[in-house]
Amino acid sequence: MTSDDISSPAEVSVAQEETSPQQLYASRVVLTTYPSQHGIEPIPLSWGAQTAAERGPVVVSRQPDSFGKRNAIGAGGGSYCIYRALAVAIGALGPNHRPDFRMTEPTNVIGPFPSWSDPDKIVSMDPWGHAIVEHYSDHLEQGVDIRPTIAITKAHIKLAEIDEAISKGELHCDGDIVSADGELKVVKVASEPVWHIPGVAKRFGISEATLRRALFEDTGGMYPELITRPDLKVFLPPIGGLTVYIFGNPDHISDPTKRLTMRVHDECNGSDVFGSDICTCKPYLIYSIEECAREAQNGGVGVVVYFRKEGRALGEVTKYLVYNARKRQEGGDTAANYFKRTEFVAGVKDMRFQALMPDILHWLGVSRIDRFISMSNMKYEAIVNSGIEIVERVSIPSERMPADSKVEIEAKIADGYFTTGNVPTSEMLENVKGRNWDEIAH
């Protein structure tokens, strides 16, 4: 970023007073475009093509040199596109800033795999999103604004729970996967959503027209081109992405001779970060990290996929409203009414709809999961139905469950979640109760 692109707080204040929309943008506001409009010539994009060159780059930018060449709807950056707009509005970022991609290349090579060119296997991410400089340098040199939607890096993780596992002898320091001071060595992949609209519609068994209309209406009409540009088949939605944590050699993920332990985890800020005991999210996440590290130490590989789907994709506000209703309902917080409270508030008990989730697994080259650290029937069915074999399902050990999480876990088991124990009856669910807010001990 150059000095022209970022300003000091004082300069920002001046920019807020002096900069008009006409100074930042062209004087004419373009609300939408049409397929046959003059100057609109999208760069060809063929989803599921055999190579990156044949597929073509995903171009969503409205910058002057790229506007007429756009072949996608939406905005880059996922949910962070709004913050970019704010940065431009207050003068902290130039509207036509271009990233300097030097030295940003991936730390590890992943793929390509046959699934990358299968239009039915990957519909919610750009399989070539990490390699735009490698494959689309000619377009970049011509001034086309193309942004990565995947980044691959390396890191070390330091967790108090891992230190505790080491002190108990449950995990050992091998100097490779787990360092002498208890740090976990990982490869990390961040991915932002890139939807192939026809593919997403097919995955859910609905028409493309229905999907486009719903996306248009329920985002407040944010993207009119969902309606006016049926020729554009790719959409970058303003939602959260995902992160992959790889323990061990990434090449082992696609190697059928190596064992793979995996967890697919949906974000739970209250538990994962702050340790709330009303659910099993953090204990399950920590348990899966330990199991992934052990698998890597034994010559296999471990993978944790972390999706930004807070509160079953209902959001944290809805989640807390449900918590309130659960604790205040007549008879207290019972497993029998666990899902009912959510449906009363949100209208649906779960909006994660795991049909798109396996895409990242196909991008990684997964064909078999030896140990799947999850009790979720939705995740299991989505993965298996996508053509990936799951050899063993692993539930969270009972001693790791927080006392107040029994309401959640028993309700889920009764609803079809995997368990090696007994499935609770309706009468048993009535007797599983969570503590009140003011109770210190369960």
Q: What is the pLDDT of residues 324-351, one digit of tens each?
A: 999 999 888 888 888 888 999 999 999 9
Pairing relation of β-strands 150-157 and 184-191?
antiparallel
CA distance 199 to 208: 9
Rounded to 5°, angle at Cα 220 from 215 and 224: 65
Helix (H/G/I), strand (E/B), else coil: 417: coil
Contact 393, 418 (CB under 8 A): yes
CA distance 331 to 319: 20
Q: What is the pLDDT of residue 28?
A: 83
- Other C-beta atoms within 10 Å of 240: how many? 16
Instruction: Give the contacts of 311 (CB within 8 A, at least 6 positions apart).
Output: 268, 318, 319
CA distance 283 to 275: 9
Q: What is the pLDDT of residue 15?
A: 41
For residue 234, what are the β-bridge partners?
Answer: 72, 196
- Other C-beta atoms within 10 Å of 290: how many? 22
Contact 106, 31 (CB under 8 A): no
DSSP state of 279: S
Q: What is the pLDDT of residue 432?
A: 85
Q: Is the pTM of this model over 0.95?
A: no
For residue 184, what are the β-bridge partners?
Answer: 157, 178
* Element (DSSP H or E) covering residue 243: strand 242-247
Q: What is the pLDDT of residue 25?
A: 80
Rounded to 5°, angle at Cα 70 from 66 and 73: 130
Instruction: Give the contacts of 83 (CB within 8 A, at least 6 positions apart).
Output: 77
Which one, of 319, 317, 265, lies nearest residue 292 by Cα?
Answer: 265
Question: Given strand 234-236, what is the order of strands in its sheet?
Answer: 72-74, 234-236, 195-196
Q: What is the pLDDT of residue 20?
A: 64
- The low-confidence residues of the chain, meaning pLDDT below 50, are 1-17, 442
Encoded tokens for 218: 């329920």
Q: What is the pLDDT of residue 414?
A: 87
Q: What is the DSSP string of 38-59?
A: TT--PPP--TT-SSHHHH----
CA distance 422 to 157: 36
φ and ψ at 266, to 5 degrees?
-100, 135
Q: What is the pLDDT of residue 440?
A: 56
Q: What is the pLDDT of residue 19?
A: 56
**Which residue's structure tokens are 């890096």?**
153
* Element (DSSP H or E) covering residue 328: helix 316-328
* Element (DSSP H or E) covering residue 265: strand 260-266
Instruction: Give the contacts of 1 (CB within 8 A, at least 6 positions apart).
Output: 97, 100
Q: Angle, to 10 degrees, between the axis of helix 197-204 and the axis of helix 208-217?
A: 100
Tens of pLDDT, residue by residue over 64-92, are: 999 999 999 999 999 999 999 999 999 99
Q: What is the pLDDT of residue 21?
A: 62
Q: Angle, to 10 degrees, between the axis of helix 160-167 and the axis of helix 281-297?
A: 60
Query: What's the gap between Cα 140 and its chain centre?
Result: 27
Contact 153, 107 (CB under 8 A): yes
What residues are labeled active site?
Answer: 350, 352
Encoded tokens for 53: 């060159």
Q: What is the pLDDT of residue 269?
A: 95
